[in-house]
Structure 1
């Protein structure tokens, strides 16, 4: 199979991944609107941990080798950042809807670029700094801090974007010594260990039909992560990452059609600015990589 064919297949896998992630977010919003968010996220992590344990036990060397690392603190911090991001972002879906949450959360690649210097020691040129500044101007357009009554909850997805950017950077840092499988196993197991006490404390009886939705949530999460890993295996990240912004499109459509969300003009304009700035930073990163 040629490189072009690999890239094409990787792009389609990324498109499918973003669609499944958007549907997963819609299910999360539905369940968290009816039940406590800690319970919903806990069940999701139980499935994730069971999935990772099954893979680890079937791998050569078993669980001990699968979790072997010289940087356990980094993996624990990574897992905690992801837990916080998931719990808070799902709550944001309920508070302000899928559209605005995803529009603001789309800033996380800009935060990755901005923080890659202090966290990873990578050089960020003036062009990317300019794009980062423009992207955050787009965030201000969405949030409208000087127009009417500013809703503090509208800034929640921006905090989630910061948490996910730090998680992404620490994942990249951990990859310098550990394979991706080690990070994957630690993420699932630490997540289940941390969330289980919270989930059991806030446990609520769930209707039968909603257990089907919960099963769909768990399966969609596992499927999307598998497809994402597969996409990165057969295509360069810089080639397929721009298509990750399609998740904003799918989520917006789902929010309008299912949850009666409203796409306000300032949100559409601001999201467009953020996405364009993010695409530029990805293009610059790819150009620098080719120049080496």
Structure 2
């Protein structure tokens, strides 16, 4: 991998986080006025159409996508992602973008913690220590016992857990299924599941909010396209640390657009969580490099 490719991959990842932060802001706006399930359903309809278009152009096309090696796991991971999206949007409405994303940044730590039981990977004492430190950061953000604790504060943590499990299952099915196949199942199964749920919560929307919905759908497609490109031009270990920029962008939107508050404990806790997450990513990269040299 050349330095130019690494730089392009980093820029693409930062652009991805900006687009996803915009998507989160629009989701917060729409879900504040309409039912969450309806908003996510319409978003997934567009996402499924985008996925189908990509599948038709991929090697093997639709025929290969409909014959995965792990159909059950593909279905489970797709349902996990759509559930995570719904839960996270609910968190945006009740907690705001700042606190939701501050807690959600713990998902790389959950990936590290769950990689042993799910993938059979060995997690050393250094990464376990970082995981422990990271969850101290989560407690700093949530402040249980300091004030009246709201159960809503656990919503983004539940979303982080589901997203971590989704990511690990994605890595597992990659042993037998290509990325286009996994992407196809993510979009289509998610769209079917949300349609079954969302149609019961349909509400009329204003013309202005339909315009915001169109922008939301476009940001979803653009964000996934940028993410795919980032991983195509650079190694995941190079670009993944820059995914934390989404916390920055989402917090700026929350503070400026929705007039949310940024509390000292959230800044300190988020800094602890991000630092621990970056350490686990670095340790994973070190282990991968050692394994490559040992071949």
TM-score where L is the length of structure 2: 0.97
Superposed, which structure 2 residues align to 1:248-287 within 5 Å? Answer: 248-287=247-286
Residue 4 of structure 1 corresponds to 3
Q: Given the superposition, is the C-alpha separation of residues 62 and 240 from structure 1 closer, same or farther in structure 2, using an over 3 Å criterion? A: closer
Q: Which runs of 5+ in 2 are unaligned?
A: none
**Structure 1 residue runs of 4+, over 6 Å off?**
none
Instruction: Describe how 1:92-241 pairs up with structure 2 within 5 A.
Output: 92-241=91-240
Is the contact between residue 109 and residue 131 of structure 2 (CA under 8 Å) also seen in structure 1? yes
- 1:8-47 to 2 correspondence within 5 Å? 8-47=7-46
Which position in structure 2 is the counterpart of 1:68?
67
CA offset at residue 56 of structure 1? 2.5
Residue 60 of structure 1 deviates from its aligned partner by 5.0
Larger deviation: 228-237 or 57-66? Answer: 57-66
Q: How far is 1:57 from its partner?
A: 3.2
Distance in 1, matches of 2:80 and 2:130, equals 26
SS in 2 for 1:115: helix
Partner of 2:77: 78
Shift of 1:209: 0.7
Shift of 1:75: 0.3
Q: CA deviation at 1:59?
A: 4.2
Alpha carbons 2:55, 2:181 under 8 Å: kept: no
Instruction: Indicate if the aligned counterparts of 1:134 and 1:274 stay in contact, CA closer than 8 A.
Output: yes
- Cα separation, partners in 2 of 1:242 and 1:60, compared to 1, 3 Å: closer
Shift of 1:66: 2.3
Comparing 60-69 and 176-185, the one that deviates more: 60-69
**Structure 1 alignment gaps of length 5 or more:** none
Q: How far apart are 1:88 and its partner, in Å?
A: 0.6
Instruction: Indicate the SS of the match to 2:68.
Output: coil
Residue number in structure 2 paired with 1:48 = 47
CA distance in 1, matches of 2:24, 2:68: 32
Give the aligned CA root-mean-square deviation in angstroms: 1.0
How far apart are 1:64 and its partner, in Å? 2.1
Provide TM-score, normalisation by structure 1. Answer: 0.98
Identify if the C-alpha distance between structure 1 residues 134 and 61 changes in structure 2 by more than 3 Å, giving closer, same or farther.
closer
Q: For 2:54 and 2:253, locate their aligned partners in 1 and report how far apart those are by CA, in whole Å.
A: 33
Distance 1:114 1:198 in 2: 32
